[in-house]
């Protein structure tokens, strides 16, 4: 059996590519969000119209994650992520042909279907390649790509639109990044992760049925954990630019601060992953270490409420940054727990189920956000986004107790 040190470079190379995939994933989806203020003017969309386009993405993304997770457990991460990245890259490029509400919604539906495999596939790869003490940090690495993608999207997308004098080339150029990633992924990731001393996964074994997984309280604790928290992140990623405009700011004048909540989320990913790993190395049980971060994250997310009354740009950005930092730390734990609790041949399936729950919650919240923002303001949205995650914390603490199997 190879010496453990030989596998350190390979598994962190895998983590780096998962980070790159997530970054590209978010660049593709954030292209529309960054261009939304100008597209709303060009196509005369209301907030409710824009919400319908976002919901088209969310619908396929939600439905697709359960199917993608099950499929990835069957075909493996190498082939599965190759095909999903290729599919969503084509969908992103095809968005350049959109010419109205219906066509934008159609291409976003295709994009969501393709992107639905990213998180189940990444979760499965972490379970296959990393020991439990490193999984929180590995999840932070790939999940931080969402914050990085969101942070750099305004700079890249607005620069491309200005350079070409049109928004259409931005979709094409950013979509091409996925094909460059596929080449690197095929070169680095082997068809199967070889067994090595530092892995703590269960090889082989029969995959439990979907109904068997859904009968477990741990599965539902993780589903509810993401269902009640992910909508907050997608509110920030999809609506932050529009929220700033509603507050009286021009997105072109505030680009220097737009990325701060996304960078804060990136830091939150690593803080949550590192701190839970530190607690485990200090002797804490894995479950207790993960839950300590979950509780702290839920409390931190309540700081979106003061943003209702904040008027200065600095205060608004700071409050959003604390909330996204807290969300990311909490989210990293919920994304890590399937690999802690379930055998490797079920990790992608459970991760997909939690993603479907998150997607359904986001669909409902997206329509509600658009309607409430049009009829009232963003104030009720911010209050709800602060308080609902506390229910998620309770669900994780109550339902995710013990494990449905003995873990190594």
| 243-254: average pLDDT | 73
pLDDT value at position 355?
86
How many DSSP H helices and E strands does the chain contain?
Answer: 16, 0
| 15-22: average pLDDT | 94
Domain assignment present for 408:
no
Mean pLDDT of the chain: 85
Cα separation, 103 vs 66, in Å, equals 25
Cα separation, 325 vs 137, in Å, equals 15
| 312 phi, psi to nearest 5 deg | -80, 145
- Which of 194, 360, 385 has the alpha carbon at shortest distance from 306? 385
Domain assignment present for 63:
yes
- At 283 the three-state DSSP class reads coil
- Which of 56, 57, 69, 49 has the alpha carbon at shortest distance from 28? 57
CATH number at residue 311: 1.20.1250.20
Of 72-81, 141-150, 243-252, 300-309, the poorest mean pLDDT is in 243-252
CA angle 123, 277, 115 (to 5 degrees): 20
- Taking phi over 0 as left and psi of -120 to 50 as alpha, with beta for the rest, 201 belongs to beta
CA angle 76, 82, 84 (to 5 degrees): 95
pLDDT value at position 402?
66
The residue among 317 and 48 whose pLDDT is bigger is 317
- For 282-343, where are the alpha helices, taking DSSP H only? 286-300, 313-341
Element at 42 (helix H, strand E): helix 7-43
Q: Which domain holds residue 302?
A: 8-194+208-399
Sorted by sequence, the CB contacts under 8 Å of residue 239 that are 6+ apart come out as 369, 373, 378
pLDDT value at position 196?
52
How would residue 45 be classed by pLDDT, with cut points 50, 70 and 90?
confident
Cα separation, 186 vs 255, in Å, equals 36
Domain assignment present for 368:
yes
pLDDT at 379 over 90: no
| 200-220: average pLDDT | 73
Distances (CA, A) of 117 to 84, 148, 182, 224: 6, 19, 14, 20
Question: What predicted TM-score, i.e. pTM, was given to this entire model?
Answer: 0.77
| 46 phi, psi to nearest 5 deg | -90, 175
Domain assignment present for 3:
no
pLDDT value at position 11?
87
pLDDT at 131 over 60: yes
Domain assignment present for 251:
yes
Domain assignment present for 180:
yes
Decide if 408 contacts 340 (C-beta within 8 A): no
- At 128 the three-state DSSP class reads helix
Structure tokens at 261: 């909540």
Number of domains in the chain: 1
Residue 277 half-sphere exposure, CB side, CA atoms within 13 Å? 20
How would residue 184 be classed by pLDDT, with cut points 50, 70 and 90?
very high
| 23-46: average pLDDT | 86
- Which of 264, 37, 268, 20 has the alpha carbon at shortest distance from 149? 20
pLDDT value at position 154?
84
Q: Which residues of 265-276 are buried (b: 16+ CB within 10 A; e: fewer)?
A: bbbbbbbbbbbb
Decide if 298 contacts 325 (C-beta within 8 A): no
Decide if 280 contacts 312 (C-beta within 8 A): no
| 283-300: average pLDDT | 92
- For 196-205, how does the pLDDT look when each residue is reduced to its tens digit (9 = 90+)? 544 444 444 5
| 289-317: average pLDDT | 90
pLDDT value at position 393?
93
Cα separation, 10 vs 196, in Å, equals 12
DSSP 207: P
pLDDT at 5 over 60: no
How many other β-carbons are positioned within 10 Å of the β-carbon of residue 398? 11
Structure tokens at 317: 């950005």
pLDDT value at position 256?
62
According to the per-residue pLDDT averaged within each range, which of 98-102, 126-130, 184-188, 357-361 is highest?
A: 184-188
How would residue 369 be classed by pLDDT, with cut points 50, 70 and 90?
confident
How would residue 8 be classed by pLDDT, with cut points 50, 70 and 90?
low
| 32-58: average pLDDT | 84
| 329 phi, psi to nearest 5 deg | -65, -45
% residues pLDDT > 90 (the chain): 33
Decide if 310 contacts 246 (C-beta within 8 A): no
pLDDT value at position 255?
65
pLDDT at 407 over 60: no
């Amino acid at each position: 059996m190879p010496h453990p040190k030989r596998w350190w470079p390979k598994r962190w190379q895998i983590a780096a590519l998962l980070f790159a995939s997530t970054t590209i994933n978010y660049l593709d989806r954030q292209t529309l969000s960054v261009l939304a203020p100008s597209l709303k003017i060009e196509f005369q969309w209301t907030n409710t119209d824009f919400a319908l386009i976002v919901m088209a993405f969310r619908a396929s993304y939600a439905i697709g994650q359960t199917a993608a997770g099950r499929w990835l457990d069957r075909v493996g991460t190498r082939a599965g992520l190759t095909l999903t990245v290729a599919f969503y890259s084509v969908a992103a490029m095809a968005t350049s042909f959109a010419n109205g509400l219906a066509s934008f919604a159609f291409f976003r539906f295709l994009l969501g279907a393709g992107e639905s495999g990213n998180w189940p596939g990444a979760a499965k790869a972490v379970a296959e390649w990393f020991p439990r003490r490193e999984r929180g940090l590995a999840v932070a690495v790939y999940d931080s790509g969402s914050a990085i993608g969101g942070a750099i999207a305004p700079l890249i997308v607005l620069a491309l639109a200005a350079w070409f004098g049109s928004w259409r080339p931005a979709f094409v150029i950013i979509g091409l990044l996925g094909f460059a990633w596929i080449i690197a992924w095929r070169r680095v990731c082997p068809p199967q992760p070889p067994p090595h001393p530092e892995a703590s996964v269960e090889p082989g074994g029969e995959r439990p049925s979907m109904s068997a997984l859904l009968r477990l309280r741990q599965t539902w604790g993780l589903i509810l954990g993401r269902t009640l928290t992910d909508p907050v992140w997608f509110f920030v990623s999809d609506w932050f630019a529009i929220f700033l405009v509603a507050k009286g700011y021009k997105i072109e004048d505030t680009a220097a601060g737009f990325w701060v909540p996304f960078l804060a989320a990136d830091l939150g990913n690593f803080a949550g992953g590192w701190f839970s790993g530190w607690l485990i190395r200090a002797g804490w049980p894995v479950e207790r270490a993960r839950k300590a971060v979950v509780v702290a994250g839920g409390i931190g997310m309540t700081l979106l409420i003061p943003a209702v009354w904040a008027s200065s740009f600095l205060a608004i950005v700071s409050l959003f940054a604390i909330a996204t930092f807290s969300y990311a730390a909490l989210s990293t734990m919920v994304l890590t727990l399937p690999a802690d609790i379930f055998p490797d041949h079920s990790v992608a399936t459970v991760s997909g189920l939690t993603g479907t729950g998150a997607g359904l919650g986001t669909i409902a919240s997206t329509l509600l956000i658009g309607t409430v923002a049009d009829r009232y303001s963003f104030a009720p949205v911010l209050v709800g986004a602060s308080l609902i995650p506390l229910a998620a914390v309770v669900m994780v603490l109550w339902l995710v107790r013990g494990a449905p199997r003995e873990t190594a």
